[in-house]
Amino acid sequence: MPHATLTLKPGREKSVNHRHPWIFSGAIAHVDGNPAPGETVRVAAPNGESLALAAYSPQSSIRARIWTWNPREIINADFFRARIARAHLARAGYATPRGAYRLLHGESDGTPGLIVDQYADTVVMQCLSWGAEFWRDTLASLLADLPGVGRVFERSDADVRELEGLAPRVGPVTGDAPPPVLEMVENGLSFGVDVVHGHKTGFYLDQRANRQWVREMSAGREVLNCFAYTGAFTVYALAGGAESVLSIDSSGEALARGKENVALNALPTDKAEWLEGDVFRELRTLRDRARSFDLIVLDPPKFAATASQAEKAARGYKDINLLALKLLRPGGLLFTFSCSGGISAELFEKIVAGAALDAGAEAQIVGRMSQGGDHPVALNFPEGAYLKGLVLLKQ
């Protein structure tokens, strides 16, 4: 069946030729045919030359997401089977019986709008674009056929679906419903995960290597873990021999899971303190009480999804980093992160530098952090590098 054709404006074929997978609405001259949402369209240069095949999204500003730059390829189950198999092979080092890792990382794995995480025998999929939505049943069936997969569960409830004009959807796709708490193992530590209601797909898998770094630097230190969620950094710090860990989060339910994770690893519960509250407010309270710490983790939620939100987000990042630097003792370490796509690594570093200046603190960057290798960044899609972090040593 012939594809509808999306023809680009003069000069707008450059990004396609450079293999960037997004085509914005402003780059399109006209669409010939009447493609349904998610349907495959042919992408053509102004002279009619076929450039790529893409999934059409009539409502989003990203009007099409490219599946392949080979216009002779066929987008069908075999196409996706090959993409999944390639990603699965690349993650072989992460695939342990009780382990957890990201199997498909959207555009960087050639599957735009599709995120797939695996927790032991449970695969959690997120269809975040019309293309992924269009092929949802096919994708779920292919994922269910992977070795070691017992069920496929859907968590297509991220805010970005609204930009596509898609309603949220959560529930089992193949197999039975997951248990209330799935147990996974990461770097020898155990964690209970709620894939049905938890953040993202249940756990922040992208922080694996960074958590291990905190573990290696925690011995004998008094630690403050901000935006602690279910206490993963807390568990790592205690496993590394921290003298104490204060964990702050706005969710009492998440902190309760954190307590369970500490107990699950037979770590000293008397060294873990849990505080439910707004992190910004609690940091100011700690400052006013002249509290201080040897190691602080700032892992806030996304403050800016897009560049247009960067200015407001910058104020939030500066505020928490300024307060953290005031609370950090000389010789202490600050592990500070941003997962906001609208904040570049360069801008984040400038924000943190400004926070240090206003705090009257001298600090050195002793490390830079990013997402793990199971969250790859395609060279043609730098937007995939969403997680950025700095390790600061306060003088």
Catalytic residues: 339
Quote the strand ranges of 128-198, DSSP E.
151-156, 169-174, 182-186, 189-193
Q: Cβ–Cβ contacts within 10 Å for residue 85, how many?
A: 12
Interior CA angle at 22 toward 20 and 169, to 5°? 135
Distance CA 301, CA 338 (A): 8
DSSP structural state of residue 96:
-
Amino acid (1-letter code) at residue 208: R
**Whether 105 contacts 374, CB under 8 Å:** yes
Nearest to 372 by CA among 95, 99, 86, 101: 101
Say if CB 233 and CB 297 are below 8 A apart. yes
Tokens for 181, please give them: 């708490």
Question: Which strands, in side-by-side order, build the sheet including 114-119?
Answer: 100-105, 114-119, 122-127, 151-156, 169-174
User: Two tokens at 369?
Assistant: 């952090």
309 contacts 301 by C-beta, under 8 angstroms: no
Which of 96, 97, 20 has the alpha carbon at shortest distance from 54? 20
3-state percent helix, strand, coil for the chain, nearest multiple of 5: 35, 30, 35
* Cα–Cα distance measured from residue 145 to residue 126, given in angstroms and rounded to the nearest whole number: 17
Residue listed under structure tokens 């075999």: 78
Look up residue 26 and give its DSSP letter: G
